[in-house]
Structure 1
Amino acid sequence: MARDDSARERSSEQSLLDRRSYLKLAGAAAASVGAAGVSASSAQAASYDTIKVPANTKKVIDVNAGETFENKLIDITADGAHVKLMTHGSGWTVRNVGVKGQNNNMDGTYGTFYLRCTDDGEALAENIYLGDGAVDRCGHAAVSDWANAGTVTIRNIHVQGWSADGMYMSHAGNTVKQTMGVTQVENAYLKNNNIENCRLGTPGSYIKDSVVHVESQDAVPSNQSGQTNARGVWFKEQSGLKAINCDISVTGSHAVFASDNGSGTLENCRVEGPITGSVEQVNVSGSPDVSPPDSVPMSAEEAASGQISSSSTTSPSSTEPDSTQQESESKGTLLELVPDDNAASVKYEFTVEGSVRKRTSGADSGYVSEDGDKVTDNGDGTVTVSGVAGNGYGDAFFVDGAITAMNLDESVWTLHYAGSQVSVSDLTLPNKLVIDGANSPGEVSEYVFEVSGSARKSTDLGSVQASDTVKDGKISGAVFDGTDGFRFSGDVTGFSLDGPASVRVEDSQ
């Protein structure tokens, strides 16, 4: 089921430094970045207070203008316990705060930490742990900037495993709100958060020196509507947004996504996964380092005490990755084309809507592609791959996108995609089906389609969640304030739509 925003509460030169080196050099200057305050990474270990929230209770903590809330461990391990931290005014500081326990309170869809200036000014939040996450179908966001009118710096924060949102920092730029406060996220570790790991929405807002990692959509809990679409960085609402010196790796959804008038720049970032929408790329490469930054707390106790451990981090290697590393870090799904043993110099060609990368070193006896195999950019968002193999040799590529056409003699070729043997018809789904409910906020549209060929869900066309199903050419599901997308072959042979959503079918023939 596609995303429901309305359910929210209404209350140059290539850099010579990688992320690790940058953080080490920047450590001495950390105190001068953003609002005033002692950097958590340099703070002495301190005693802390424990706030234990009883079962089935929502604890509201107000931090008012000019106040400091620090060295607190908030224990929500009791069943149904929840905390809601609200900041007000400006000049406040939230420092050394860890939330212990997985949020399993199912009442409401509001946020957990509201880190915002409700008037013009500056504020600081640092050394925050929200890494225990939330249960499946829990509607609470981890962090929100609702009503932010000033400049908030959030640094050394760990947000992991939240089912509704990770850092939802675009409210201030929403056309309804437009309080237009700026959010500056620094040295964050954001992992397996649903809908977005970090969403920015006002000019001047940025995320930098951070790690954003989605291992797979199956590793992410669904939101209150059962939806799973875990994006990495989302530029939304406004322009002038940035991700700087970040390592971003997302499997199954968008690594970087710009939509709803949002646009931004990736600068000196390492990215694995689709980059979609109005996103300018400046010195963007692959092979992101997804280990936690040194400055981020890895437990609630570590955050509350102000003590940082670097034991979970690793140093960058100056050597080339081995074949296993290359395969695990490569962008896309492995496609292997294997000719019969007695075949010699047989040709193939296929087209992908997206990108393709050669596999240049094989794990064990895996196939690789050679210099003579060509990947040609067609200039329209597609690439065409052509090559020749035989005499006991096959070719292999990492495919990031939809294979829309393939030309080869299936009688002499065996195809393996994502480790499974497939046919050409399994791979080539050239047609698109999009069910769009974004223009009918708050209304559900249920649909059933039947096609004469094969079909599969498509993250690049819309959301992907377990409640939408594809079986034997029958597509069924529901859309709510967003879009669902599918690719298929053949023709649409049956159609039923109950609700106000619009439908778009694109036939490539």
Structure 2
Amino acid sequence: MARDKTARENDSEQSLLDRRAYLKMAGAAAASVAAVGATTSRVDAADYETIEVPAGSRETIRIGGGETFENKLIDISADGAHFRVVTSGSGWTIRNVGVKGQNSDTSDTYSCFALQCDSGGEGLVENLYMGDGSVDRCGHAAIGGYGNAGHVTLRNVHVQGWGADGIYLSQPGVEGNSGGTFTVENAFAKNNNIENIRIGTTGSVIRDSVVHVEGTDPVPSNESGQKAPRGVWLKEQSGLEVENCDIKVSGADAVFANDGGSGTLTDCRVDGSISGDVQTQNVTEGADVTPPEGVPMSAEEAASGGTSEGSSSDEPQTTEESDDEEDSEGDLLELVSGEDTSGVRYEFTVEGSVEKHESGDNAAESSDEITENGDGTVTVSGVAGNGYGDAFYVNGAVTAMDLDESDWTLRYDGEEVSVDELTLPKKLVIDGSNRPNAVSTYTFEVSGKARKSADIGSINDYDTVEDGTISGRVVGGKDGYRFSGDVTGFELDGPANVRVEDDS
């Protein structure tokens, strides 16, 4: 295939920047980069550097044996800006790196992250965000492993919306190639074309990861105009392993093996077709496509080494709180029954995940049920009365609540709320994907409450919600919010489309 051949340019391509300008060497980075036209800036709120690639420019960052490239935000938002990160040697590390902006360069075909190490050596990639994707007909894979002769581990990686391969690691398994292996763990791959994750050398494994394709419409085409958004592709060699993964694919095979590739799915949830020489062990339906804990959901979050929005509060524990609060993600939702009630029921649905809170005055019990619906949502049901209540950690948006509000007091993150305030039944989506390289800024005012929603759009530091005012910007992507009440004010500067959906 063209990608296998053209990826060989790794060794011949000339770097526009001295690689050491980007490595973590005290004081040297800003001066070295500024000398060649790219810029770096220190963000006060987090310990990371921004590498801003100018319009129409291509920057190559080379990482050698024993070197570490970490806490960087690579900004390719400018028209035609492009980058490559190329590794070599052994013992290198890429950590806390976020790529901001769509890849809009369509001039060549190769991987943006080219991961390779020497025979017997190892490399590590962890906490990497590539979720802004590429434009249509872009030939670049997000991540490739051509030339790897050792073992590379990818952990906490987010790859979404790439037109010519997401995580493309099968090249070393081609007969006569380098034969290196890969471990992919705790990854989130969504709406990538050709494959979301592909492995091809015996000893390679994908584990504890989520792969989700919503259909061909949200997937950009490759350089030839093709769309075949397979979930997991096992290619070239046998003995490939996929363990404890959630895979949900529409528009192509969920799991696909061919060209000598074969392997085993173990303890996986798969919604979609499985084709080729694939053995299954304890494989069921009902994939949970919620991004795994620890996967960065924005470039800024990755670069700073931070955690996703919706993680547990930084407020100190009281002496009445138990250790489960330290280990739980999400916001605390308490449902307290009225003093004069008996056996009153409730049910609510969440886009995301829910965990029982089992200490304090309000605590969920074994009889309270949390049911996964197989579409990324969970439904919670229970019974209480006589002033007692249940409590849960909610990581995601509460989209529906079925109860008699006169029988209950609801508290969310310590604040008393109504059902309408909790469920925020309306969606506001600012969609800039029609103009991938154009910036749109916006401000909305709503009469009710509002909060960001990672389920319907990206979340980054440019987006804010305060006292019913929503503001932010999009560059070729989508921002999403849930709100109650009505839109009372509106300002938009740029070509983005805006839609409001009611009763979602």
Instruction: Give TM class, smaller chain.
Output: 0.5 to 0.7
Q: In 2, are the aligned partners of 1:158 and 1:297 still within 8 Å (CA)?
A: yes
Q: In 1, are the aligned partners of 2:287 and 2:376 still within 8 Å (CA)?
A: no
Matched residue, 1:400: none
Q: In 1, are the aligned partners of 2:143 and 2:166 still within 8 Å (CA)?
A: yes
Cα distance between partner residues in 2 of 1:227 and 1:288: 27
Q: In 2, are the aligned partners of 1:237 and 1:260 still within 8 Å (CA)?
A: yes
Q: In 2, are the aligned partners of 1:90 and 1:121 still within 8 Å (CA)?
A: yes
Give the superposition deviation at 1:9. 2.4
Tell me the amino acid that sits aligned with residue 116 of structure 1. Answer: Q
Matched residue, 2:343: none
Are residues 304 and 326 of structure 1, via their aligned partners in 2, closer, same or farther at CA, if it must alter by over 3 Å?
closer
Cα distance between partner residues in 2 of 1:5 and 1:60: 18
Cα distance between partner residues in 2 of 1:283 and 1:218: 31
Is 1:273 matched up with 2:312?
no
Give the superposition deviation at 1:116. 1.9
Tell me the amino acid that sits aligned with residue 279 of structure 2. Answer: E
Tell me the amino acid that sits aligned with residue 170 of structure 2. Answer: S
* Mapping for residues 467-506 of structure 1, pairs under 5 Å: none
Superposed CA offset, 1:83-142 (max 9, x none)? 100001110010000000000001100110012213421111100000000000000000
Q: In 1, are the aligned partners of 2:133 and 2:160 still within 8 Å (CA)?
A: yes
Q: In 1, are the aligned partners of 2:286 and 2:375 still within 8 Å (CA)?
A: no
Tell me the amino acid that sits aligned with residue 314 of structure 1. Answer: S
Matched residue, 1:214: 213
Tell me the amino acid that sits aligned with residue 309 of structure 1. Answer: S
- Higher relative contact order (CA closer than 8 Å, sequence separation 6+): 1
Give the superposition deviation at 1:155. 0.1
Give the superposition deviation at 1:249. 0.3
Cα distance between partner residues in 2 of 1:7 and 1:55: 27
Cα distance between partner residues in 2 of 1:304 and 1:97: 5
- Counterpart of 2:172 in 1: which secondary structure? helix
Superposed CA offset, 1:201-223 (max 9, x none)? 00110110000000001110000
Are residues 292 and 115 of structure 1, via their aligned partners in 2, closer, same or farther at CA, if it must alter by over 3 Å?
same
Matched residue, 2:222: 223
Are residues 254 and 68 of structure 1, via their aligned partners in 2, closer, same or farther at CA, if it must alter by over 3 Å?
same
- Counterpart of 1:219 in 2: which secondary structure? coil
Matched residue, 1:140: 140
Matched residue, 1:118: 118
- Counterpart of 2:8 in 1: which secondary structure? coil
Matched residue, 1:82: 82
Q: In 1, are the aligned partners of 2:288 and 2:376 still within 8 Å (CA)?
A: no
Cα distance between partner residues in 2 of 1:328 and 1:134: 25
Give the superposition deviation at 1:304. 0.3
Q: In 2, are the aligned partners of 1:137 and 1:163 still within 8 Å (CA)?
A: yes
Give the superposition deviation at 1:6. 5.4
Cα distance between partner residues in 2 of 1:155 and 1:328: 22
Matched residue, 2:353: 314
Give the superposition deviation at 1:8. 3.7
Aligned residues: 291
Q: CA RMSD in A?
A: 2.1
Superposed CA offset, 1:457-503 (max 9, x none)? xxxxxxxxxxxxxxxxxxxxxxxxxxxxxxxxxxxxxxxxxxxxxxx
Matched residue, 1:204: 203
- After TM superposition, the score normalised by the length of structure 2 is 0.55
Superposed CA offset, 1:238-259 (max 9, x none)? 0111110000000010000000
Percent identical pairs in the alignment equals: 57
* Mapping for residues 73-472 of structure 1, pairs under 5 Å: 73-177=73-177, 179-309=178-308, 311=310, 313-315=352-354, 319=369, 325=373
Cα distance between partner residues in 2 of 1:144 and 1:246: 21
Give the superposition deviation at 1:5. 4.8
Are residues 219 and 66 of structure 1, via their aligned partners in 2, closer, same or farther at CA, if it must alter by over 3 Å?
same
Q: Which runs of 4+ in 1 moved over 6 A?
A: 326-329
Cα distance between partner residues in 2 of 1:320 and 1:51: 44
Are residues 114 and 257 of structure 1, via their aligned partners in 2, closer, same or farther at CA, if it must alter by over 3 Å?
same
- After TM superposition, the score normalised by the length of structure 1 is 0.55
Superposed CA offset, 1:57-103 (max 9, x none)? 11100000000000000000000011100001110010000000000
